[in-house]
Chain A
Amino acid sequence: MSSQVPRMGLPDLGVGVGLRIPHYGVIFEQNPAMDWFEIISENFMGRGGMPRRNLDKALSRYPVVQHGVSLSIGSVDPLDKTYLSKLKDLLKHTRSPWVSDHLCWAGVSGTHLHDLLPLPYTEEAVRHVAARVKVVQDYLEAPFALENVSSYLTYTNSTMTEWEFVSAVVEEADCGLLLDVNNIYVSAYNHGFNALDYVRGVPHHRVVQYHLAGHTNHGAYIIDTHSGHVIDEVWDLYKQAVQLTGPVSTLIEWDDDIPAFEILAAEAEKARVLRTSACQKKNLDTTRNAPFRLEGAL
């Protein structure tokens, strides 16, 4: 596989980290080297005040990609038009090259649980989600990617594996896949499947972004806390995935017990080194395939 062909027309931005408040001082005062930042869309939908001011500072310095947590693409409730309108407004402002959210449901019957709840892996759910992704993608007029979630339960009526489900959804919806390697590890631990089967089983040409993060192991189960360093097993999984996909925009998430920016940057550097070495092993071109342009942002 060659990285010369941008996947789904989207650029490889390199390795970035999540834009988080405790790091604003360092980021805006020292402009540290970082390929790109990911923002949580919902944190900037208010359209004004300090959040918007800080977003604009980031936009003037770095490529920024929007990642959402509240779309609830798998819910049986109608899509929230107000939410989508705000998301599109923000997208116009950030010029994010793509926008992502989670392959999950977050509420129903008018209640929003603010969680990333797994879906049953059924044909019915595939059709339901894929149809809604098409609506969202058309409305946003921007490339859309779905992220696989960590899960702590499985359903009695599932008829396929999670990776078969994820693959079917993104293929039928014709959207990108944000592959969270830590989430694969967490769910594999919680449900006893082979994480490598998952990595091998998804459509690699649709992977437009990776997520990497730490988690909290409680023995009987793992919770995806985005806390601490990425563990070695997840790094290994990431290496294997990159060998299958080629170099893809990669992001380190760290949301609990957030460390000094230098520690997060070091984690990003580790990802960069691993990514390069994984690609070299497979003779994949690591040249970033479509430099992201800041012109037009803002």
Chain B
Amino acid sequence: MTTPPALTLVQTFLKDAFQTNLPISENRELSAGVAKHVAGNERLTPAEQADLYRRQFFLRHIESLLEDHPGIAHYLGEEGFEAFATAYLAAYPPSTPSLRDLGAGVESFISSWSGIEEPYRPLLREMAHYELVFVDLFDAPDVPSPDLTLLGSLPQEVWLSCPFVFSPLLRLVEYRYPVPELRLQIRNGEVGRDLPMADHASYAVFRQTDVVRFERLTSPAFRLLKALTKGCSLVSACEQLNSTLTPAEADEVEAGLGQWCSRWAGAGWILAVDQNGASLDTSGPRSP
């Protein structure tokens, strides 16, 4: 297929015109350019006609960003979020057919955008990360539920010595601010816009029965789970962990290990125990 020259010219020109953040009629040079391609009529000038599409570009994409990022929108406020989203769209123009990919650059944009008050930047960056995890998990491909009867029937030595197969619908995340809880409170209208207290915490974020949920984990449980998701057996994960545990944490691991494994399997995080380590699939969840 050859590239049609006239069509290329008009599409390339209008693509840029539709992404300018001021009305086209306010830019004389752009208006003149639009008039070469767009006919206009007795009711609307070429610039006014093109501007209908320009306005739609911003309305549609800002609305989509708002839907996926209620946490960021809450702390920036209505006007602040509109300014943020407008600047974001200029820096990261939508590039895929799916609107769900629109926010892919939000976290890194927050790191550099000058419109954010400095104390809020780490909070908003973490909120962006969590909201993207949320979007990602929402309609990710389904995975079969674990066979809990089979898992429960496995001998203890298998549980101890073989790596686990984890659900790809599980993400392990650590935040300085409790963004999963904050986002929930924002959704329920229970939290103000003041900068919250930092509260370092670790979470498992996962999809269960079609709902994206989070669970706060203790530090030893999170570290153990992280080692396991990297393909370690329970024994080797515990060995790795041992040297880093305080005595109290060591007690916690010893007391909680059985319950944790049972809970993680019950929640669908552990899908299977890989009794053939050679075929171990480590392409599961990635940690931040």
Contacts and interface: CB of A to CB of B under 8 A. Distances in A.
A46 B138 contact: yes
Nearest to A220: B43
Contacts of B5: 124
B210 interface: yes
Contact of B44 (A49, A50, A156, A221): A221
A220 B97 contact: no
B53 interface: yes
Contact of A108 (B12, B36, B41, B100): B12
B4 interface: yes
A154 B6 contact: no
A124 B139 contact: no
Interface stretch (A70-78, A173-181, A235-243, A271-279): A70-78
Contacts of B38: 153-156
B139 A50 contact: yes
A83 to B, nearest CB: 5
B4 A124 contact: yes
Nearest to B137: A49
A164 interface: no
A111 B37 contact: no
Interface stretch (B56-64, B178-186, B191-199, B249-257): B56-64
Nearest to B39: A154
A114 B43 contact: no
Interface in A106-135: 106-115, 117, 119-120, 122, 124-125, 127-128, 131-132
B37 A113 contact: no
Contacts, number: 141
Interface stretch (B14-22, B107-115, B147-155, B266-274): B14-22
Given A83-B97, A112-B96, A154-B39, A221 B52 contact: yes
A105 B137 CA distance: 30
Contact of A131 (B1, B44, B138, B210): B1
Interface string B126-166: 00000000000111111000000000000000000000000
B142 A47 contact: yes
A188 to B, nearest CB: 12
B69 to A, nearest CB: 17
A110 B15 CA distance: 10
B207 interface: yes
Nearest to A153: B49
B140 A115 contact: no
A42 B98 CA distance: 7
A109 B15 contact: yes
A295 B195 CA distance: 56
B4 A125 contact: yes
Nearest to B3: A76
Interface string B29-59: 0000001111111011010011011001100
13 contacts: A46-B140, A49-B140, A50-B139, A70-B97, A83-B96, A111-B15, A111-B94, A112-B95, A154-B49, A192-B41, A220-B44, A221-B43, A221-B44
Given A113-B57, A221-B52, 8 more contacts: A42-B99, A105-B11, A112-B97, A115-B18, A120-B7, A127-B4, A152-B52, A155-B38
Interface of B: 1, 3-8, 10-12, 14-15, 18-19, 35-41, 43-44, 46, 49-50, 52-53, 56-57, 60-61, 93-100, 137-142, 207, 210-211
Interface of A: 42, 45-53, 70-72, 74-76, 80, 83, 105-115, 117, 119-120, 122, 124-125, 127-128, 131-132, 152-158, 190-192, 220-221, 223
